[in-house]
Amino acid sequence: MNSIFKIIELFKNFLLEIGELSYFAGRFFKEAFKPPSEFKEFLRQCFNMGNRSLLLVAVTGFIIGLVFTLQSRPTLQEFGAVSWMPSMVSISIIREIGPIITALICAGRIGSGIGAELGSMRVTEQIDAMEVSGTNPFKYLVVTRILATTFMLPVLVFFGDAIAIFGSYLVENIKGNVSFLLYFNQVFNALEFGDLIPSTIKTFFFGFAIGLVGCFKGYYCKKGTAGVGLAANSAVVFTSMLLFIIDFIAVFVTDIFYDL
């Protein structure tokens, strides 16, 4: 009986958190269109997030492309379908693997960073100091970060996709002696706008979710260093879960359009 009450309590807390997050998102949209724009801070955040995640996204993308091709090659060889490799790799990476893996990496790298940074600013009263200094901290800290993740994630995904496909090409070049021109010719022949547009649109949502949850957890961080750690940690866990939900919805919606 006790465990049932615990489950009900957990579910209630989860719903409360969703409610608070929705309110936070509503506040973001309300503040985002109000002057002043804080454009300089937005650019600084874009640079920080994009630049600092570039290497990680590049290395991960490269390894994914490499491993994916190495693992799939024997199976395709068995069916005499190795020539399908560029098409298969590019479609899988562009449609699904690239966006979700890059988003998960950024949830860990950027989301936790935002959670910890805003959390420590809350604990050390820097957010209060900002408020006293005539600045709307929600606009300066939250709006700029959410916008930066929303706009930078598609760029990072695009970059990660390109590196992953390049990694795949390297394997094909070494193992199958396929030229750069032939490989990428097949890649572009296989890809359609129908592959690129939905996956790009969903990366904006991924970026928004990463920024929103990271800021939410950090901005309302509980006092103490333990609170900062918890904010960073729960930002990653909650965002990762949210990313899969968004991905599921995106695939579902895209599928409806494909059926039409």
Partner 1 sequence: MDTTVPNLKPIIEIKDLMKSYGENHVLNGFNMVLYEGENLVIMGKSGSGKSVMIKCLIGLEEHDRGSIQVMGKDISELDREELDELRTEVGFLFQGSALYDSMTVRENLEFPLRRHTKKFGVIKDTTPLVMEALESVGLANTINLMPEELSGGMKRRIALARTLILRPKIILYDEPTTGLDPITAKEILMLMKSIQEKYNTSSIIITHDVDCARVISNRMILLVEGKNYIEGTFEELSISTDPKVQAFFK
Binding residues for partner 1, how many (CB under 8 A)?
14
Least separation, in Å, of the C-beta of 55 and partner 1?
21
Among 56, 130, 170, 237, binds partner 1 (CB under 8 A): 130
Q: Fill in the per-residue mask, 47 to 86: x = in contact with partner 1 (CB under 8 A), - = not in contact.
A: ----------------------------------------
CA-CA distance, 122 to 44, in Å (whole number)?
20
Cβ 63 vs Cβ 167: under 8 Å: yes
Q: Which is nearer to partner 1, 113 or 198 (CB)?
A: 113
Shortest gap between Cβ of 124 and partner 1 (angstroms)? 5
Count of residues in the chain: 260
Decide: 221 and 142 in contact? Cβ < 8 Å.
Answer: no
Give the shortest CB-72-to-partner 1 separation in angstroms: 44
What DSSP designation does 13 have? Answer: H
Q: Indicate whether 134 belongs to the interface with partner 1 (CB under 8 A).
A: yes
Q: Which of 11-19, 24-32, 73-81, 119-127 is the region at the interface with partner 1 (rule: CB under 8 A)?
A: 119-127
Residue 128 binds partner 1, judged by CB under 8 A: yes
Check binding of 37 to partner 1 (CB under 8 A). no
- Kindly report the backbone phi and psi dihedral angles of residue 36, in degrees, each rounded to the nearest multiple of 5, phi listed first: -75, 160
By 3-state DSSP, what share of the chain in percent is helix, strand and coil, each rounded to 5? 90, 0, 10
Q: Could you tell me the smallest distance in angstroms from the CB atom of residue 81 to partner 1?
A: 53
List 17, 31, 96, 131, residue binding partner 1 (CB under 8 A): 131
Q: Is 2 in the site for partner 1 (CB under 8 A)?
A: no
Q: How many whole angstroms separate alpha carbon 166 and alpha carbon 86? A: 10
CA dihedral 194, 209, 140, 43 (to 10 degrees): -40
Torsion angle, alpha carbons of 245, 249, 254, 259, to 10: 130
The answer to whether 255 contacts partner 1 (rule: CB under 8 A) is: no
Per-residue b/e over 179-209, b at no fewer than 16 CB within 10 Å?
eeebbbebbeebbeeebeebbbebbebbbbb
When binding is defined by CB under 8 A, the residue of 15, 132, 197, 245 that contacts partner 1 is 132
The piece of 49-57, 62-70, 131-139, 249-257 that touches partner 1 (CB under 8 A) is 131-139
What's the DSSP call for residue 140? I
Q: Which residues bind partner 1 (CB under 8 A)?
A: 120-121, 124-126, 128-136
